[in-house]
């Protein structure tokens, strides 16, 4: 299956993943209640690390659970792991084969902590090591650039959050993801035409904040691995602390800015970039005044909740990266120097 086909099938994959994991996440939430853990400790690499960034915001905001992103080299190369106490230790990996991620989960088990694997391979070393497993059920992903495995990881994280909250309302909103995702994927042809404008782009900045800080990182990763563009992700807050100096007239800025508490800050920065810096803006948003700032606007559904927006906002970003790859004449299925499974120690 091609990269383009895998992007477009994501809403159907979400439905399957949700159905398969509804009882699974509820069982995990009962076995590891929030009262029994003080924080979550997540080991991941690449795209999966961006899913972990989403967990740090979602579980922190919705479940008051502090999240730490692990430094796996402490467990493998330095062999000096931190003390883990009252901690849910989690490994997120599409293949479940990276030794450094497995090492973190194994050490968590050795220290007597509950462990969880979120993976697309239920028979992988990671899954075999962990106490609990969420099989994301993304199906075979043949393109090197991860798309549906990323969004099903986000889905698993959102479902576990709702299960911890015991919130039927939040599960009902998760069930609407297919509707919102389908609406965004309908922009495919428009995004393909839009990508032509950026076919000579060699560098850019990708902005996001809050829940979509993860989206900024994942979008920039797709631009790097598919388009070979130097794409740097920033929060709107961090970007003001120095990096904004790089922006000259025409400098490309990609931004994810859905409605929510971070929108006023994002809008103010994008307005400054448009009016004072004359930057080239591509904006994904469901706020009309913010979209009006963009040379290239991509609309999100108006009623999309911010806490679920990373699952939907990454879809047009994936499509943009795919179409830009085509416009640049690169191979969408085999980015140079990359393999589907990367093992690090």
Q: Sign of the CA dihedral 321, 322, 324, 330?
A: positive
This prediction has a pTM of 0.95
Q: How far apart are CA 340 and CA 39, in angstroms?
A: 31
Residue 341 lies in a domain: no
65 and 96 inside one domain: yes
Question: Furthest-apart CA pair in the chain: how many Å?
Answer: 56
Q: Of 146, 175, 204, which one is at a domain's C-terminal end?
A: 175
Tell me, what CATH number does 240's domain have? Answer: 3.40.50.10490
Number of domains in the chain: 2
14 and 154 inside one domain: yes
68 and 211 inside one domain: no
**pLDDT value of residue 337:** 62
What tokens appear for 115 in the block?
């462990």
Tell me the residue range of the domain where 125 lies: 3-175
Q: How far apart are CA 136 and CA 103, in angstroms?
A: 21
Q: How far apart are CA 90 and CA 103, in angstroms?
A: 11
**pLDDT value of residue 342:** 55
118 and 227 inside one domain: no
Which class for 61: exposed (0-12), middle (13-18), buried (19 or more C-beta within 10 A)? Answer: middle
Q: How far apart are CA 140 and CA 142, in angstroms?
A: 6
Q: Which tens digit of pLDDT belongs to each residue from 77-103? A: 888 888 999 999 999 999 998 899 999
**pLDDT value of residue 282:** 98
199 and 74 inside one domain: no
169 and 284 inside one domain: no
Residues of the chain with pLDDT under 50: 340
């Amino acid at each position: 299956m091609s990269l383009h086909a895998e992007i477009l099938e994501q809403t159907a994959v979400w439905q399957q993943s949700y159905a398969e994991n509804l009882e699974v996440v509820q069982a995990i939430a009962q076995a590891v209640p929030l009262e029994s853990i003080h924080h979550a400790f997540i080991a991941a690499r690449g795209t999966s690390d961006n899913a972990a960034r989403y967990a740090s915001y979602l579980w922190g905001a919705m479940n008051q659970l502090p999240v730490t992103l692990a430094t796996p080299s402490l467990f493998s190369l330095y062999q000096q792991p931190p003390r883990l106490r009252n901690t849910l230790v989690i490994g997120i990996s599409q293949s479940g084969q990276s030794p450094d991620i497995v090492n973190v989960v194994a050490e968590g088990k050795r220290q007597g902590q509950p462990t969880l694997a979120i993976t697309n391979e239920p028979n992988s070393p990671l899954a075999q090591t962990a106490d609990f497993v969420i099989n994301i059920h993304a199906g075979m992903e043949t393109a090197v650039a991860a798309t549906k495995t990323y969004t099903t990881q986000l889905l698993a994280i959102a479902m576990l959050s709702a299960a911890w909250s015991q919130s039927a309302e939040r599960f009902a909103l998760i069930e609407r993801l297919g509707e919102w995702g389908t609406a965004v994927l309908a922009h495919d042809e428009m995004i393909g035409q839009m990508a032509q404008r950026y076919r000579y782009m060699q560098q850019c900045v990708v902005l996001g904040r809050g829940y979509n800080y993860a989206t900024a990182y994942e979008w920039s990763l797709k631009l790097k691995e598919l388009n070979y563009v130097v794409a740097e992700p920033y929060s709107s807050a961090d970007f003001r602390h120095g990096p904004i100096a790089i922006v000259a007239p025409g400098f490309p800025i990609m931004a994810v800015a859905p409605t929510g508490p971070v929108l006023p800050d994002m809008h103010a920065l994008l307005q400054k970039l448009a009016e004072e810096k004359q930057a080239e803006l591509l904006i994904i948003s469901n706020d009309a005044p913010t979209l009006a700032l963009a040379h290239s606007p991509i609309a999100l559904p108006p009623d999309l909740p911010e806490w679920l927006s990373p699952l939907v906002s990454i879809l047009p970003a994936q499509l943009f990266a795919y179409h830009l790859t085509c416009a640049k004449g690169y191979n969408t299925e085999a980015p140079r120097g990359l393999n589907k499974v990367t093992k690090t120690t």
